Amino acid sequence: MKMENASSTISRLFAAVDARDWLQVESIMDDKVLLDYTSMSGGSPGWLAPRQITDTWAAFLPGFDRTHHEIFDIQSSDQDDSTQFHFKGRAEHFIGIESWVVEGTYDALLVKREVEWKVSRFKFNLQAQSGNTQLPALAAARMRNLKSQDEK
């Protein structure tokens, strides 16, 4: 089996998030991931299992009609069995014709596990938000409504 490079693993992660392919997202992550979204949502970074991360994302992101993540200006520093990444990103979240856009940088560490690269650390550094900043609350409400309908 040929090993894909670490950079394509990062691209595959974002494509899987946009496709809501949570099993694929989990397969790209190491057994525990240091996840840090504190610049956007407060709290503190934490070591989480892939399923904990996707459960959180799956409880929120499908509240949008669709999302589109774009990454660029990727810089990497390779070690024998790991690669540090720093890159810029833009995430567009849509409900109808409205959009909420989040921009920032990411710092990620990927580790080589046999024939695959796995995300071990993932930090988002918020720089700007634009568009309808009320859409996250609307997406969360849509997910709560969907959950309450499922429970009936």
Whether the CA torsion 19, 76, 33, 63 is positive or negative: it is negative
What pLDDT does 40 receive? Answer: 93
**Can you say whether residue 36 is alpha, beta or left, with left for phi > 0 and alpha for psi between -120 and 50 degrees?**
beta
State the CATH number of the domain containing residue 104: 3.10.450.50
The DSSP 8-state label assigned to residue 2 in this structure reads P
Does residue 1 fall inside a structural domain? no
DSSP 45: -
Q: Mind listing the pLDDT tens digit for each residue in 12-51?
A: 999 999 999 999 999 999 999 999 999 999 999 999 999 9
With a CB cutoff of 8 Å and minimum separation 6, the contacts of 55 are none
Residue 95 DSSP code: E
- Residue 43 in any domain: the answer is yes
Rounded distance between C-alpha atoms, residue 127 and residue 122, angstroms: 16
Residue 114 domain flag: yes
Quote the pTM value: 0.91
Question: What domain range includes position 48?
Answer: 6-151
pLDDT in tens, 89-130: 999 999 999 999 999 999 999 999 988 999 999 999 999 999
Structural domain contains residue 61: yes
Number of domains observed in the structure of the chain: 1
DSSP state of 44: -
